[in-house]
Structure 1
Amino acid sequence: MAVVTIESNLGRLAVNFRTSEFVSKAHPDKMADGISALVLQEHLINDPLAHVAAETILSSSGEVSLYGEITSGHDMTQADYERLVRGYVGGLGWTKAHGYDPDELIIRKQYALQSPDIAQGVVESDPSRLGAGDQSETIGFAIRNPRFSEEEDQRLPLPHALSRDLLLAINALRESSLSEVIKPDMKSLVEVSYKDGKPVALEKLVLAVSHSDSIENGQLRELIRDTVMSVLHKYKLNFNFDEAIVNGTGKFVIGGPRGDTGLTGRKIVVDAYGPEIPVGGGAFHGKDPSKVDVTGAYLARWIANQIVGNGLADKCLVRLSWAIGQPMPVAMHVDLCGTEKNSIKNITEMLAQIDTSLGVAIARFGMREIKPGDTKGIVYPAIAGWGPFGLVKDDSERPWDLVVPPDKWKEWTAPKIEVAGQS
């Protein structure tokens, strides 16, 4: 039976255990997120005011069904959507040899128009009066990790950042030299022990890495060993890799949608901060910026980042509550978790200068300024692939993770940059 751990937080030296998992961008659910995000991006490139709520289902039979509501000035044909989907799936590393051939997918487009009842509240020429596209509770979080410099600190729960960085490293190894034997579908899970609220040791490591049938699981372990240990060294965590569970059944050849159906929005805890932090009201990907599930969550993260990144507190949880058609949150709650380093009064006054209206947040982050080009900016499929928060070296910027001095909070907006399109 599993080891049962009972925790007590009554003592000052209490020890507890925190877990988190992540999945790669070629996991079936993340593939669905990425396709939905790519559809969104294609419409925003051609119609910045498009209203999009795209959802995707990938079945084990090879069908890709595109659902949702889209009202856009950019007309797309069945062939256009097929081109996007096949190109995206192939770009993830799926091939006929790996059991999921982009050219053989059956793609069904079944989008409808946005409800006029919603549209009347979110179409507004004055950005400061743009109404929320739905009601939602959105969460932002940031925490200082003293194991890292301020430049390297992702301000995420350490187990969650670690679980993603492990997969990023293994996927980079796969892309660089092992794409024929390691398939792109991967999962990770870590358990970290804490004492006095600080991470102490890595207790458990679980990896699921899909592979071709030309190698055994033992060979796979050795192929990824050095890469995994390099990431753990960066995190200053000791661990005996021989104790890691890699592909618990001993085999992971049937991966991707052939092994498990993919659905947009099913990895909301992975996308956010892991299981120790509350999640908000909805998923992030495939939704245009009028959807506060997305923009509200990014705004809440930006606020939490400013508090922690400027040394005003070591930990911050922000909750923004939204009502459909309303331009600003109907409630804002900030929890400094007893870690504040400045007076509550001063921090409250600093926060009061931030304009939290939806339209201003969209402009602040440049969320509709998606233009073809050769420089970096927001790339929605990349954000869907590896998540919206923290330090990820991919094709996308994450402006809600930038920290600026408090005297810039009122007027700050993301740098104006052109964005490489994914079409």
Structure 2
Amino acid sequence: MRNKGDFLFTSESVSEGHPDKVADRISDTVLDAFLTADGESRVACETLVTTNRIVLAGEVRGPASVTPEQLIEGAREAVRDIGYDQPGFSWKNAEVEYYLHAQSADIAVGVDSAGEKDEGAGDQGIMFGFATRETESLMPAPLHYAHGILHRIRDLRKAGDPRAAALQPDAKSQVTLRYVDGKPVGATSVVISTQHVEGASQQAIREDLRSVVKDILPEGWMCPEEEFYVNPTGVFVIGGPDGDCGLTGRKIIVDTYGGAAPHGGGAFSGKDPTKVDRSAAYACRYLAKNIVAAGLADACTLQISYAIGVSHPLSVYVDLAETGKDVDEDKLGRVLREVMDLSPRGIRKHLRLNRPIYTQTSAYGHFGRTPDAAKDDFTWEKTDLVDTLRSAFNR
């Protein structure tokens, strides 16, 4: 995203009931089950959901106490919590097929530590992190508000609020903001498509959702009425996995920065933290957020690269988008290597990732979330490196 000038920018979000997010939720439920039993478990779980069918596949290495029956029951409970008990997709009677098998020995030998060999990255790849002063969460504003709209609708639906009485779990939102001199000043359009019960009044849904959007957007930011779109096709009764097949890992832009920053291409859900697709992307967000929170820049993009079986990152790239406060980007890259061990094991230890904390990440974004002190989750959203970074630049 440009940091200067006047332009429009759009981001979308999808609800926990979107077919792809149902798949993400189940995959992370499997991961958390293994990490609950053994924090050193290895998991790469892919899930497919369609009309009354759930398919679990992938590779795992963990204790035998985690049984197929337990994971199948966990998948059903995830669907139940999302809210699906419909003729075409129900937690009660959906058929669950189980195809998880042992992790490849060829991968394990490259990743595991042994003798003098340190633990290597679980795969090659490039990971990005981003932060911006556009919102209090240091996230891009269009995605921040797109997530917020659907999260509020979810809360209303689960609380039995009259405004969500006719709504079902599957939903999408899309927010377009106008930027003036690089700063967001208001919405030019908002789109919400939400599954609903048969016979629901579209006008009533529109009126109820208008109030939700106004609650989420800053005062005076609501788009013109003619640019507020609710269920543009006119009806959305058949939804969720009964309406569209869902797969793990297909909403990577929704999961990260809504298109406002680069993406390395790797998905998160269902992967244990030895997979740098996930853990290093969390580390990148953590470092970028701390840089911006420390006042070193108004925006920051980081890139880190790895090779499978190699413990250290091959590169650390910093781009402050010409917003740095007299900070040398090359020096900052070196400082980041000093303040955080960016090996796969170092990232896991620093952010305490070998714990069952992933189910709640599977919808409404992995970034920009508020850590729960009791659960000690979303550790990559903490800003506990601010003083260290300021000291490195004598601030």
User: With structure 2 as the length reference, what TM-score do the two structures score?
Assistant: 0.91
- Structure 1 residue matching 2:100: 3-state secondary structure: coil
- Measured in 2, the distance between the counterparts of 1:358 and 1:400 equals 14
Which residue of 1 is the match for residue 166 of structure 2?
181
**How far did residue 308 of structure 1 move?**
0.3
SS at match of 2:326: coil
Name 1:31's counterpart in structure 2: 22
Tell me what 1:67 maps to.
Answer: 57
Contact 1:138–1:320 (Cα < 8 Å) also in 2: yes
1:266 to 242, 247, 250: 250
Distance in structure 2 (CA, Å) of the matches to 1:127 and 1:35: 37
Q: Which amino acid aligns with 1:28?
A: P
How far apart are residue 114 of structure 1 and its match? Answer: 1.1
Q: Aligned partners of 1:369 and 1:267: how far apart in 2?
A: 23
- Which residue pairs with 1:280 in the alignment? 264
Cα deviation, residue 285, structure 1: 0.6
Give the Cα separation in 1 of the matches to 2:165 and 2:344: 46
Aligned equivalents of 2:10 and 2:270: distance in 1? 28
- 2:75 is the counterpart of 1:90: no
Secondary structure at the aligned position of 1:301 is classed as helix
Q: 1:181, 1:214 within 8 Å by CA — same for their partners in 2?
A: no
Aligned match of 1:158 in 129, 133, 141?
141
Structure 2 CA distance, aligned partners of 1:189 and 1:126? 51
Q: Which amino acid aligns with 1:304?
A: A
1:287 counterpart letter in structure 2: K
- The percentage of aligned residue pairs carrying the same residue is 36
- Correspondent of 1:205 among 190, 194, 206: 190
C-alpha displacement of 1:75: 3.8
Distance 1:105 1:296, change over 3 A: same
Q: CA deviation at 1:13?
A: 8.0
Contact 1:229 1:241 (8 Å CA) reproduced: no
Q: Any conservation in 1 of the 2:188–2:224 contact (CA below 8 Å)?
A: no
Give yes or no for contact 1:34–1:381 (8 Å, CA) kept in 2. yes
> Residue 134 and residue 13 in structure 1: after superposition, are their counterparts in 2 closer, same or farther (change >3 A)?
closer
User: Per the alignment, do residues 387 and 125 of structure 1 end up closer, same or farther by CA in structure 2, a change over 3 Å counting?
Assistant: farther
C-alpha distance 391-132 of structure 1, shift in aligned 2 (>3 A): same
Matched positions, count: 383
Give the secondary-structure state (helix, strand or coil) at the position aligned to 1:73.
coil
Unaligned runs of 5+ in 1: 1-8, 371-378, 410-423
- The residue number in structure 2 matching 1:338 is 322
- Does residue 347 (structure 1) correspond to residue 327 (structure 2)? The answer is no
Alpha-carbon shift at residue 396 of structure 1 (Å): 7.2
> CA-to-partner distance for each residue in 1:166-200, whole Å, 9 max, x for gaps?
11111111111246521011100111111211112
The answer as to 2:318 corresponding to 1:327 is no
C-alpha distance in 1 between matches for 2:7 and 2:246? 33
Please, which runs of 5 or more residues in structure 2 have no aligned partner? 390-395
Distance across 2 between alignment mates of 1:214 and 1:393:
40
Counterpart of 1:58 in structure 2 is 49
Match 1:139 to one of 128, 136, 144: 128
Distance 1:128 1:246, change over 3 A: farther
Kept in 2, the 8 Å contact 1:382–1:396? The answer is: no
> How many Å apart are 1:408 and its aligned residue?
4.4
Task: Give the match's secondary structure for 1:389.
Answer: coil
Work out which of the residue numbers 379, 390, 394 in structure 2 matches 1:399.
379
Aligned partners of 2:371 and 2:379 also within 8 Å? no
TM-aligned CA deviation for residue 242 of structure 1: 5.4
CA contact (8 A) 2:370 2:381 kept: no
- Contact 2:4–2:182 (CA under 8 A) maintained in structure 1: no
Are residues 1:369 and 2:358 paired?
Answer: no
| Partner of residue 216, structure 2 | 231
Residue 363 of structure 1 aligns with an amino acid whose one-letter code is K
Measured at CA, do residues 77 and 251 of structure 1 come closer, stay the same or move farther in structure 2, by a change above 3 Å? same
1:384 aligns with 2:362: yes
Answer whether contact 2:20 2:250 (CA < 8 A) is retained.
yes
Please give the alpha-carbon distance, in whole angstroms, between the structure 1 residues aligned to 2:23 and 2:217: 30
How far residue 346 of structure 1 moved from its aligned partner, in angstroms, is: 5.9
CA distance in 2, matches of 1:386, 1:125: 38
Q: Is the 8 A contact 2:60 2:102 kept in 1?
A: yes
Q: Provide the TM-score with structure 1 as the length reference.
A: 0.85
Quickly say closer, same or farther: Cα 1:137–1:93, change in 2 above 3 A.
same
Distance verdict in 2 for CA 1:84–1:182, change over 3 Å: same
Residue 407 of structure 1 and its aligned partner are, at CA, apart by 4.8
Residue 43 of structure 1 is matched in structure 2 by 34
The 1:340–1:31 alpha-carbon spacing in structure 2 relative to 1, beyond 3 Å, is same
- Paired with 1:242 and 1:127, the residues of 2 have a C-alpha distance of 66
Where does residue 393 of structure 2 map in the other structure? none
Superposed CA deviations along residues 117-175 of structure 1, whole A, max 9, x for unmatched, are 11012222699922101001000000112xx5xxxx11111101111011111111111
Q: Cα distance, 1:14 vs. partner? A: 3.7
**3-state DSSP class of the match of 1:168?**
helix
Amino acid at match of 2:384: V
